[in-house]
Structure 1
Amino acid sequence: MKLLLADDHALIRDTLLAYFEREPGITVATAEDLDAALDCVAREGPFEVILLDYAMPGMSGLEGLKRMQAAAPEAAVAIMSGTAARRIADEALEMGAAGFVPKTIGARSLIHAVRFMAAGEVFAPIQLLNDAQFGMPDSLAEKLTEREREVLVGLCRGLANKEIARDLGLQEVTIKLHVKNLCRKLDARNRTQAALLARDAGMC
């Protein structure tokens, strides 16, 4: 199976790429925005499944879905989002999207979803039927101090502790402590997962 993964956040791309590369029978190409994804389709297509980040540059709402469907009519084109409203999900599915995938989905479930869509089925997780909005609750941000939120933005940018310390005018050891607290408060195993949770919740 050939899969195209398009997301403007390098951390998201790299993490999802690592998930898929461990799966036998899946070949993955990546792109950082819609134009790059369209170029990739022209150069390397056809793809069986195409995952598009709803919020990445070039999408212009669901206009990007239309453009990709026209460029790759043979592909199952799906939207990924951590924060898009239920209305957007419904509209995407009505437009013929192969699925609407919340970024909070687990790695194994995501792989199942991709295989499901490659088989010609439409993927809509159960929470789509029940929730008004994807993503983490607003209370997530309320757990953090202002300084922790600043450090979290640095994690989302993929910065090292030393770089975050320089940007904030703090000592590196202080940043390490904030990262440890962030992981504890967000129930994240490591800094990468903390950044993913924050991105999915629209916090950075």
Structure 2
Amino acid sequence: MRVLIADDHDLLRDTLVMFLQSQGGMETASVGTFGEACARIEADAPYDLVLLDYNMPGMNGLNGLRTAIAMGGGQRVALISGEATRQIAEDALEAGAAGFVPKSLPAKSLINAVKFMAMGEQYAPIEFMTAVDDVTSNPLAEKLTARELQVLKGLTEGKSNKEIARDLDVLEPTVKLHVKTLYRKIGAANRTQAAMIAREAGLY
């Protein structure tokens, strides 16, 4: 089984490669931009699955997905994202994607999803596709996704990224990405400041 992973976050990409290769019988290649992914699709032997990060350089969202699907005789292409909405996931599936994989997915589930898609099936986590957005009147909470709120709660409790990852059953690099994103969204420079902002807003 041959899989190409295209994601601009080095740590997350390398972790995905490590997890997939540890399964045995799985050959992986990885790149950091959409342009590099296209070059590999054209030059390499056919892949069973191409996994594209929705927000990486050159991707241009669903246009990149459609371009990749049309290349190399129409190989199977799936999206992976830490921030994409359910609507984007639905549009991707409608455009012919092999699936949609949130970066918040537990490692075991992610590996199973990749195998599932590479074997010809279409995948999207039911809990993500059917989730009902929480109705909240807190202005700060409205800026963050449900997973970012969980990570922020861990920060207010003084937990490390490793501890938060264990609590949420996700990879540590995934937590680091969420921390970086929520810093930007709430205007925090570090963990202490993020915790203070959350407490002042009455979140935790």
Report the TM-score when normalising by structure 2.
0.73
Gaps of at least 5 residues in structure 2 are 134-144, 184-204
Which amino acid is the alignment partner of residue 164 of structure 2?
A: L
Local SS of the residue matching 1:93: helix
Distance 2:114 2:172 in 1: 24
CA 1:193 to 1:25, structure 2 compared with 1: closer, same or farther past 3 Å? closer
Distance 1:107 1:142 in 2: 22
Gaps of at least 5 residues in structure 1 are 146-177
- Alignment-derived partner of residue 129 in structure 2: 129
Contact 2:148 2:178 in 1 (8 A): no
Contact 1:81 1:103 in 2 (8 A): yes
By relative contact order (CA 8 Å, sep 6+), the higher-ranking structure is: 1
Aligned-residue Cα RMSD (Å) equals 2.7
Local SS of the residue matching 1:41: helix
Contact 1:46 1:74 in 2 (8 A): no
Give matches, 1:39-50, under 5 Å. Answer: 39-50=39-50
Distance 1:113 1:193 in 2: 16
CA 1:139 to 1:104, structure 2 compared with 1: closer, same or farther past 3 Å? closer
Q: Deviations over 1:142-198 (max 9, x none)?
A: 6537xxxxxxxxxxxxxxxxxxxxxxxxxxxxxxxx8xx423762548xx9443213
Contact 1:81 1:200 in 2 (8 A): no
Local SS of the residue matching 2:28: strand
- Which is worse superposed, 80-89 or 106-115? 106-115
Give matches, 1:161-200, under 5 Å. Answer: 181-183=159-161, 186-188=164-166, 193-200=171-178
- Alignment-derived partner of residue 83 in structure 1: 83
Count of paired positions: 169
Local SS of the residue matching 1:80: strand
Q: Is 2:6 the counterpart of 1:28?
A: no
User: Deviation at 1:116?
Assistant: 1.2
Identity within the alignment, %: 38
- Which is worse superposed, 78-87 or 132-141? 132-141
User: Deviation at 1:73?
Assistant: 3.5
- Alignment-derived partner of residue 98 in structure 2: 98
- Which is worse superposed, 108-117 or 132-141? 132-141
Contact 2:106 2:171 in 1 (8 A): no
Distance 1:118 1:12 in 2: 20
- Alignment-derived partner of residue 203 in structure 1: 182
Distance 2:147 2:44 in 1: 35
Which amino acid is the alignment partner of residue 116 of structure 1?
A: F
Local SS of the residue matching 1:144: helix
CA 1:184 to 1:26, structure 2 compared with 1: closer, same or farther past 3 Å? closer
Which amino acid is the alignment partner of residue 89 of structure 1?
A: A
Distance 2:15 2:54 in 1: 18
